[in-house]
Structure 1
Amino acid sequence: MDRSWMKRPRISEEYDNGVEGFLKFAKDNAFDVGGLYFCPCLKCLNGRRQCLDDIRTHLICDGICPTYTKWIWHGELPEMSSTPPTGPVDEQVGDYIEDMLRDLGQEGFRQAHAPYYDTLDNDSKIPLFIGCTKYTRLSVVLALVNLKARFGWSEKSFNESLLLLKNMLPGDNTLPKTHYEEKKILCPVGMEYQKIHACRNDCILYRHEFTELRNYPTCGVSHYKVSFGASSEVGSTYIDVLSKVCWYLPVIPRFKRLFANAEDVKNLTWHADGRTKDGLLRHPVDSPQWKKVDELYPVFVEDPRNLRVGLVSDGMNPFGSLSCNHSSWPILLIIYNMPPWLCIKRKYIIMSMMITDSRQQGNDIDVYLAPLIEDLTKFWVEGVDVYDRNAHKSFRLRAMIFCTINNFPAFGNLSGYSVKSHLACPICEKDTSYIQLKHDKKTVYTRHCRFLKPFHPYRQLKKAFDRTSEIDSAPIPLSGVEVFDRVKNICNIYGKTHKKDGAPKNIWKKRFIFFDLPY
């Protein structure tokens, strides 16, 4: 169906006819709920259901979203799209099955995952049904999962589609019935994850020397949930439910996977051989911080494939309800070796950790970051052998945290600086200028004009600010060495129940874990 009317003026006859054609298409093909359909106007953006008359009014008054050229919310199948895909999905998948099996069949993988590899290898040879020579069980599973990912199918609709396809095929077909069965077939292709047990009070992670502990000796809280009516003392009955779990997705196999694709390897060296060097700031590679790293660590810079990543973290409520007492902290890594149009794509943003609880971790977040810091330390000190698909040889990969990205409260949790007191500015520290409002007891921070140029006119605007001229100069931000001097003697004590009684108050609450990195 022609979509050119979507860009015509709303007062034109062509636009009116297009709206009527769209409404007829939606009525014939879309799934309605009590006569209500998704509205694609510029205000609703397929986020609300309306009746057809209201949709007509919205489209004429507000206009239709110009990028909604594939009417997937109104019954259009992917094959009906006005922009056909570059090639059949089964051909795209089939071209890479042999390469995938060869990569997974390497000696190191086969020794560690021999049963999984053998099952995957067998599925690549089993026909979809007796007499079928074009499709195997593995190729069909890969093609269907690829479609699910490309077009955002829900798991429920995907299961219904699988059941329908299985009933349509001959009775001896080997197609899985559910998405869960498909994931079991593809489990060797996926990345590993670690379920790390944690203390309920954020004191420790039950790993290394603490793995077998039932109770953490300092706070006395049970490793597992205690059965109803029992106490946490010795001899109590435990049920097999963990008190708290941290999900860690190791970064070493994920960084290795980046170099398994030849095109991705070329993008990972863009910062050295693909960018325009004209002195303009378009990417972190043009920043003074990047050049400073080049000066301090020439050995690291010698190989442009070595990774510089940005660590992103913040707390969120995944349920979208303020009444729900739940907090999730994802820890993400952004690869800054890539060009700016790729490094922020979801495909290349790596989730390394997920911390979930009803309470925020606060300064105790360092307890959960320990596995990630250990892997990143290994990348810096020893390096990791990685196979470069573009060069067809292995090399020693190193990586470093180039920067952290977070809002101000998350900055306080990561750095240990007190961002909620009168001295909340980490640049000014004890020179922070503030006023305590008399009636509503709020703190207002003042004298920001000192950060302007010496003869800026705002410095003389007394009435617009706090009725004083700001002629003093701005404080100089602390360097990494100066921050380390302030926190190096702080003894870190983690846990919600542990307080340093009698200890002198300090605006720096901890020696944050990033100082464990050699750089």
Structure 2
Amino acid sequence: MENDNEHEDDEDHVDEMMAGVEDELGKHSRVFESLTKAAQKPLYPGCKKFTKLSAVLTLFNIKSKGNWTDISFNSLLEVLSEMFPDGNELPKSTYYARKLMCPFGLEYKKINACQNDCVLYRNEYDNLDKCPQFKRLFSKKKDAKNLRWHADRRKKDGLLKHQADSPEWNSINRLHKPFGDEDRNLRLRLCTDGMNPSDCMKCKYMMLSLLISGPKQPGNNIDVYLTPLVDDLRKLWDEGVSVLDAHTNEMFTLRAMLFCTINDFLAYGNLSGYKNKGKKACPICIDDMESTWISKCKHVYMPHGKFLRLHHPIRKKKNAFDGKVEERVARRVLTGEEVYEQDKGVETIFGKTMQKDTGLWKKESVLWTLPY
């Protein structure tokens, strides 16, 4: 009797669902006619307990309760179709069974979610390809409070203990005063090629902004992939986003900038466009670089002892280097404006083609399009 009651319940549900579909699609629609036919056709000739539609509904209920995979459900349908008499109407695969059920609203829709479980990419987030994570940073009182630690609780004793103590940080505050006056504005670091920003960083504050599949790295062509990220960075600088600060419970316009990049020396060349190989590999010395070709295989840079302090004992170790005491001093590091004057206007050709010899620079980096 229990099984009979279950079958009766399934039939009642089919009637209810058929009524809903009729209201939604109309009695004379092609889909409704197809469903009606499936609801009336016996599962196999002579079957009185199940129609094609009720059988599929019952099997789907079992699949759902048992958390069956599509693969295992496929196997079940194949076996049952062999067990039932010839001429049975059972769908041969999960695909066709689900296609039959779609008009009931039982089809599934794939909705991507942020890996931090903070947002589904639907409705107002439907067109996003990444989480609005900067807003999420200010959604918790503790995090929102910590984001102002450098301004409110940092010990300011003239020593370099935090990025906020650096000349670069203060230079930004001076040159871009409206940005620097808002302590909650973000200064981002772009980490390339697997380098960790710092041991003090927690994973939840690291955001995967770009993943380039292998097997070959793009090299100079990395700008092609960086362009969407640079566009987002420009928007965060020019317009900002409206954010609720959970600590102060007030709305403010959050802006952000790329404060620095962190990468190994090879990735540095790809990002900057400087040819950090060969005779002039040092991006600080540039034209003042001195190199020696040895062993028919590589350049070495003996004069780099000039970067040591003036009275460093290694400067006097002649036999370890080129037989001379190093008395020279390193050149002054170029400013951003001076570097840009060298790089500006270099013809950039992307793609796996032969690159023209453009001197020490192989491209004008896409990062130069950032206004700061």
**TM-score > 0.5, shorter chain as reference:** yes
Higher helix share: 2
Secondary structure of the equivalent of 1:376? helix
Correspondence for 1:228? none
Higher strand share: 1
The answer to whether the Cα contact below 8 Å between 1:460 and 1:470 also exists between their aligned partners in 2 is yes
What displacement does 1:311 show? 0.5
Correspondence for 1:515? 368
Correspondence for 1:307? 186
CA distance in 1, matches of 2:333, 2:238: 29
Pick one of 295, 298, 310 that aligns with 2:177: 298
What displacement does 1:187 show? 3.8
Q: Note the residue ranges of structure 1 that are not aligned, 5 or more in a row.
A: 1-170, 194-247, 316-329
What displacement does 1:177 show? 6.8
What displacement does 1:505 show? 3.5
The answer to whether the Cα contact below 8 Å between 1:259 and 1:388 also exists between their aligned partners in 2 is yes
What displacement does 1:451 show? 1.5
Question: After superposition, what is the alpha-carbon deviation per residue over 1:279-307, rounded to whole angstroms, capped at 9, x for unaligned?
Answer: 22222112221111121111101111100
Correspondence for 2:80? none
Correspondence for 1:388? 245
Greater relative CO, 1 or 2 (CA 8 Å, sep 6+): 2
1:360 is aligned to 2:213: no
CA distance in 1, matches of 2:150, 2:354: 46
The answer to whether the Cα contact below 8 Å between 2:173 and 2:181 also exists between their aligned partners in 1 is no
Correspondence for 1:487? 343
- Structure (1 or 2) with the larger CA radius of gyration: 2
Pick one of 250, 262, 268 that aligns with 2:141: 262
The answer to whether the Cα contact below 8 Å between 2:220 and 2:270 also exists between their aligned partners in 1 is yes
Correspondence for 2:49? none
Correspondence for 2:319? 463
Note closer, same or farther for the CA distance 1:279–1:176 as it changes in structure 2 (3 Å cut): farther
CA distance in 2, matches of 1:287, 1:358: 38
CA distance in 2, matches of 1:305, 1:289: 17
Note closer, same or farther for the CA distance 1:411–1:369 as it changes in structure 2 (3 Å cut): same
What displacement does 1:470 show? 1.8
The number of residue pairs the alignment matches comes to: 266
CA distance in 2, matches of 1:507, 1:269: 41
CA distance in 2, matches of 1:191, 1:269: 25
The answer to whether the Cα contact below 8 Å between 1:191 and 1:254 also exists between their aligned partners in 2 is no
Q: How does 1:351-430 map to 2 (within 5 A)?
A: 351-430=208-287
CA distance in 2, matches of 1:292, 1:452: 26
Correspondence for 1:476? 332
CA distance in 2, matches of 1:176, 1:266: 43
Q: Note the residue ranges of structure 2 that are not aligned, 5 or more in a row.
A: 1-61, 70-108, 122-127
Secondary structure of the equivalent of 1:276? coil
Q: State the AA in 1 paired with 2:224.
A: V
The answer to whether the Cα contact below 8 Å between 2:346 and 2:358 also exists between their aligned partners in 1 is no
Correspondence for 2:50? none
What displacement does 1:389 show? 1.9
The answer to whether the Cα contact below 8 Å between 1:384 and 1:396 also exists between their aligned partners in 2 is yes
Note closer, same or farther for the CA distance 1:281–1:249 as it changes in structure 2 (3 Å cut): farther
Q: Cα RMSD between the aligned structures?
A: 3.1
What displacement does 1:487 show? 1.2
The answer to whether the Cα contact below 8 Å between 1:490 and 1:511 also exists between their aligned partners in 2 is yes
The answer to whether the Cα contact below 8 Å between 1:487 and 1:510 also exists between their aligned partners in 2 is yes
Q: State the AA in 2 paired with 1:517.
A: L
CA distance in 2, matches of 1:374, 1:382: 12
Q: How does 1:120-519 map to 2 (within 5 A)?
A: 187=113, 189-191=117-119, 249-250=129-130, 253-314=132-193, 341=200, 344-437=201-294, 439-497=295-353, 499-500=355-356, 504-519=357-372
